[in-house]
Amino acid sequence: MPGLQGCQTVLSVTLQEQLRTAGALTPSLSRRRIFTGGLALGGSAVLGADHLIEPGAAQAPSGAARLSAPRPRLFLPTVQEDQISAIKVCLRPFRAQGPRYDVEKIGHKTVFHHYGHGGSGWSLSWGSADYVIGRVAATLTKRVAVIGCGIIGLTTALTAQRAGMAVTIYTRDLLPRTRSVRANGSWTPDSRIALTSAGPAFADLWERMARVSWASYRQYLGLPGLPIDFVETYALSDEPFDTPKAEPPPPPTLDFARYGTRIHDIIPASVPVAPQDNPFPVAHAKRISKMIFNFGAYGDHLLAEFHQAGGKIVMRDFHAPSDLHTVAEGTIINCPGFAAREWWKDDSLIPVRGQTNWLPPCPEARYGVAYRGAVMLSKSDGIMIQGYDLDGIGEAAGYNSGFEHPDRREANRAVGIFTDLFRRTGA
Partner 1 sequence: MSRRRLRQGIAIALAGIPAIAFARAPSYTTAQADAGAARYTQACALCHGPDLAGSFETPALTGRFVQHWAGVPLSALAAYIQRAMPLTAPGTLSRTDVIALTAFLLRANGAPPGHAALPATPHGLDHLIFPVSEAR
Residues within the interface to partner 1 (CB under 8 A):
103, 110, 112, 131, 133-140, 163-164, 204, 208, 211-212, 215-216, 331
Smaller CB distance to partner 1: residue 60 or 103?
103
Q: Are 333 and 384 in contact (CB under 8 A)?
A: no
Smallest gap from residue 228 Cβ to partner 1 (A): 15
| Closer residue to partner 1 in complex, CB, 178/213 | 213
Instruction: Please name every residue paired with 232 in a beta bridge, in sequence order, or none if there are none.
Output: 289, 367
Residues ≥6 apart with Cβ < 8 Å to 265: none
**Residue among 96, 95, 92, 93 nearest 195 (CA):** 96
Question: Which strand (E) or helix (H) includes residue 141?
Answer: none
Least distance to partner 1, CB of residue 216, Å? 7
In whole angstroms, the minimum distance from the beta carbon of 196 to partner 1 comes to 20
User: Helix or strand or coil: residue 145?
Assistant: strand
Cβ atoms of 260 and 190 within 8 Å: the answer is: yes
Outline where DSSP puts E strands in 131-258. 143-147, 166-171, 228-237
| Type of residue at 69 | A
Question: Which of residues 207 and 323 has its CB atom nearest to partner 1 in the complex?
Answer: 207
Torsion of CA 178, 182, 185, 187, to 10 degrees: -80
Shortest distance in whole angstroms from residue 161 CB to partner 1: 13
CB of 104 or CB of 173, closer to partner 1: 104
d(CA 374, CA 218): 27
Q: Whole-number minimum distance, CB 108 to partner 1, in Å?
A: 12
Looking at the Cβ atoms of 216 and 386, the one nearer to partner 1 is 216
Nearer to partner 1 (CB atom), residue 91 or residue 210: 210
The length of the chain, given as a count of residues: 427
Of the candidates 290, 159, 189, the one whose C-alpha atom is nearest the C-alpha of residue 235 is: 290
The alpha-carbon radius of gyration of the chain (Å, integer) is: 23
**6 vs 78, 352, 371, CA distance in Å?**
6, 33, 22
Least distance to partner 1 from the beta carbon of 113, Å? 11
Residue 135 or residue 258: which is nearer to partner 1 going by CB?
Answer: 135
Which lies closer to partner 1 via its Cβ, residue 105 or residue 409? 105
Task: Please report how close the Cβ of residue 10 comes to partner 1 at its closest, in angstroms.
Answer: 41
CA distance 370 to 241: 12
For partner 1, the closer of residues 133 and 257 by Cβ is: 133
Q: What is d(CA 172, CA 163) in angstroms, rounded to the nearest whole number?
A: 25
* CA dihedral sign, ordered 262, 350, 406, 228: positive
| Nearest distance in Å: CB 294, partner 1 | 22
CB of 297 to partner 1, least distance (A): 23
